[in-house]
Amino acid sequence: MASALFNTDQNDNSERRRHDNSERRRNDNPESETNGQPQNNIQQVVEQDEEEDEELTLKYGAKHVIMLFVPVTLCMVVVVATIKSVSFYTRKDGQLIYTPFTEETETVGQRALNSILNAAIMISVIIVMTILLVVLYKYRCYKVIHGWLIISSLLLLFFFSFIYLGEVFKTYNVAMDYITLALMIWNFGVVGMICIHWKGPLRLQQAYLIMISALMALVFIKYLPEWTAWLILAVISVYDLVAVLCPKGPLRMLVETAQERNETLFPALIYSSTMVWLVNMAEEDPEAQRKASKNSTYDKQAPANQAQNEDAEADDGGFSQEWQQQRDSRIGPIESTPESRAAVQALPSNSQTSEDPEERGVKLGLGDFIFYSVLVGKASATASGDWNTTLACFVAILIGLCLTLLLLAIFKKALPALPISITFGLVFYFATDNLVQPFMDQLAFHQFYI
Amino acid sequence: MTLAVFFGCTFIAFGPALGLFLFTIARDPLRIIILIAGAFFWLVSLLLSSLIWFIAVKASDPNDEQLQKGLLIFGVMFSVLLQEAFRFLYYKLLRKAIEGLVALSEDGCSPISIQQMAYVAGVGFGLMSGAFSMINLLADALGPGTVGIYGDSQLYFLTSAFMTMVLIFLHTFWGILFFHGCENRRWWEIAAVVVMHLAVSGSTFCNPLYVGSLVPSYVLMAVAATWAYLLSGGSAQNVRRFLLCLQSGASPQPGS
């Protein structure tokens, strides 16, 4: 489960990354000075980029903070609205197998012990699954990972949304026949699978990611008993801190491996505020690109590479025969092979400064959405302060996210998004529920205003 | 009760604030962040003051009614002072932020001025204060019930809504006044804001005698509004020009 926060452009071409170094990092990484291009070229571009970078750091911050505030807020609103209206998600109907110990015990000590054990089991499961994911990714078992992701999104998009829809209908006493329901769920699910795993309009993809995060959060809220839930939230933010920042942390290794291979991470696990598949377009032929990069390090400028054309005939790259004939007659015969196209696409772009800074997006892992929503949902479900507590947790999480993004703008590497927000959220939950609520209650009773 | 009261009270309490938010704050991401941070600062001040009140209550006799009410009044006053202290802290933070924004900008001036920040901070404080006062009431207003069935005032929801609205406005104007006082080292402006806040909160002690609390609060709001308007560069002439412009439908002049 990826719960990290990072820049979109970290997965770009490595040359582009070096060009975007700020002065601080240039001094820290002397090896970034030499990248095969003439030195004076770098100096001009880097100086120009330094000034832009300095100015861009905070402008990038404010707009992108809002680009993350909105989906996080939407997810929380969906979860809170569901919790408040559909009683299914606050009803105790048993527990998951990951939390086998019950919390209906006689003594407080027993309950505490049970919840600690539950949290320990849950965290171990999460750690094992994350390590499994990293190992699979490292050894390039992409098919297994994709199969795993597809099965889990199938489960979420079809089964959980079916249950959700059923409960909503029960709450509002809407009569619905199975045929219409099947049609709705089928359409919802299939469009969701396409948007998340393949290509789709950005807004639709974002909406689906928000919806599956909300569904997952609702499942957690329903099946996790109280003390276990708070403990799990606390422990998972510590785990997130460790997993993303420690050199041997699984999530850090995942991000670094993805950067080394110049690949984007799985779209099914990350919410991105800008078009992700545009970056993928440059890597449509990963096989050809590998071949091209292996044997064309010297002649990157040369577009033609006729050495390997076993599969050249089958793939004409979308250029029609007519167009090719026209081109051949004008500029002479040049074969467009997958290798040549990949080599051209792999050329360092000289115009990276024309990249609109506002299109540089920021990504947030879906795990973060889920746990933020679990916190706020649990607060609205079980707090005696009710809406005050929910509002306090909401503001606390947003401020935590803002601080995390500020740190991201300063440190420019993948950061855990859970610790600060969850800490603030937990502090404000317990403080508001136990301290502020009695005070506000008394004030409302006498109609005093502060 | 139910929907009519719910929507009525919501729009009385939060309508103007929503308008302020939509037309002046929602477009600019930096202002939204300042708004939420302002709400956060108000929340922290509330937390600390509730902590003090809670400790005082736990240390005292729960059956002594007068003592409890006295402690509550003390809690209110302390909370007001703490809110203003946090407004000052927020001012300090925003000052530092402006220096950072100036350093990072390309033309040496910040994308947002301290006066705009003062306004947004005030709205942030006001919105959070209003939300905390009103939201639980609104949630109860949705359900069944009869207001004042045990002899209490029947106007409870309505007066709460009006009080919330006036408080949101007051916080906005106090933000402008306070920051202006801090900027120009006019301590009497800061003291005036604190005194006004104490006065408004104090006036609510005579609830349910609503004349004693709502009327002074609205009068103080008008005073604060005029003062803040004058401090922000407005004048009687601007208002006149603005109104005349509307009436005659003439070509827009450099407006107020």
Q: Summarize pLDDT for A302-342 with one digit per residue, the tens.
A: 334 433 333 444 445 555 566 656 665 566 555 556 666 65
At B69, is the pLDDT very low, low, confident or very high (cuts 50, 70, 90)? very high
Compute the CA torsion angle B132, B134, B136, B138 (nearest 10 deg): -150
Which tens digits make up the pLDDT trace of A269-299?
889 888 754 444 443 444 444 444 444 444 4
* ipTM of the complex model: 0.92
Residue B256 has pLDDT above 60, yes or no: no
Residues constituting chain A: 450
DSSP run (H or E) holding A4: strand A4-7
pLDDT level of residue A17 (50, 70, 90 thresholds): very low
The nearest CA of chain B is from the CA of A399 a distance in Å of: 7
Percent of chain A's residues with pLDDT above 90: 47
Q: Among A392, A432, A448, whose Cβ lies nearest the Cβ of B72?
A: A448
CA neighbours closer than 13 Å in the CB half-sphere of residue B109:
3
Task: Return d(Cα A103, Cα A443) in angstroms, integer.
Answer: 34
Contact A436 B46 (CB under 8 A): yes
Which stretches of chain A sit within 8 Å of chain B by CB?
Answer: 51, 54-55, 57-59, 62-63, 65-66, 69, 385-388, 391-392, 395-396, 398-399, 402, 428, 431-432, 434-436, 438-440, 442-444, 446-450
Chain A residues with CB-CB distance to B73 below 8 A: 448
10 Å Cβ neighbour count for A288?
Answer: 24
- Distance from C-alpha of A78 to C-alpha of A95, rounded to nearest angstrom: 23
Q: Which residues of B touch A54 (CB under 8 A)?
A: 104
CB pairs under 8 A between A and B: 115
pLDDT value for A344? 59
The alpha carbon of residue B69 is apart from the nearest alpha carbon of chain A, in Å, by 9
pLDDT tens digits, one per residue of B35-58: 999 999 999 999 999 999 999 999
pLDDT at A416: 92
Give pLDDT, residue A318. 54
- Confidence (pLDDT) at A269: 86
Measured between alpha carbons, how far is B174 from B192 in angstroms, rounded to an integer? 9
Report the run of H or E that residue A374 belongs to, with start and end.
helix A366-382
Residues of B in Cβ contact (< 8 Å) with A399: 36-37, 40
B residues 57-76 lying closer than 8 A (beta carbon) to A: 57, 69, 72-73, 75-76
**Looking at beta carbons, which residues of chain A come within 8 Å of B51?**
431, 435
The nearest alpha carbon in chain B to A397 belongs to B40
Residues of A in contact with B137 (CB under 8 A): 444
Q: Say what the pTM is.
A: 0.80
Query: What pLDDT is stored for residue A175 in this prediction?
Result: 94
**Distance (Å, rounded) from C-alpha A254 to C-alpha A265?**
9
Q: Which residues of A are catalytic?
A: 240, 368
Distance between CA atoms of residues A59 and A49, nearest Å:
15
pLDDT tens digits for range A397-427:
999 999 999 888 888 888 899 999 999 999 9
Residue A307 dihedral angles phi and psi, to the nearest 5°: -60, -50
Collect all residues with Cβ–Cβ distance below 8 Å to A359 and sequence separation of at least 6: A274
Q: What is the mean pLDDT of chain B?
A: 91
Q: Which among A19-28, A140-149, B243-252 has the top mean pLDDT?
A: A140-149
| pLDDT at residue A5, rounded to an integer | 64
For position B209, what pLDDT does the model report?
Answer: 86
B160 interfacial to chain A (CB closer than 8 Å): yes
pLDDT tens for each residue of A88-141: 999 988 888 888 888 888 899 999 999 999 999 999 999 999 999 999 998 988
Least Cα distance to A358 among A447, A279, A275, A250 occurs for: A275
